[in-house]
Amino acid sequence: MKQDIERVLFSEREISETVHRLGEQISADYAGKNLLLVSVLKGAVVFMTDLMRAITIPCVIDFMAVSSYSGTKSRGEVQILKDLGMSLKGYDVLIVEDILDSGRTLHYLMGVLGQREPNSIRICTLFDKPEARVEDVVADYVGMNVPNEFIVGYGLDYNEKYRNLPFIGILKPEVYGG
Catalytic sites, residue numbers: 101
Q: Is the dihedral of CA 169, 173, 177, 178 positive or negative?
A: positive
Check: CB of residue 36 under 8 Å from CB of residue 93. yes
Q: How far apart are the first and last CA of the chain?
A: 17
Report the alpha-carbon distance of residue 121 to residue 161 in Å, rounded.
31
> How many residues are present in the chain?
178
Check: CB of residue 149 under 8 Å from CB of residue 168. no
What is the CB neighbour count within 10 angstroms for residue 48?
Answer: 24
Report the alpha-carbon distance of residue 87 to residue 113 in Å, rounded.
10
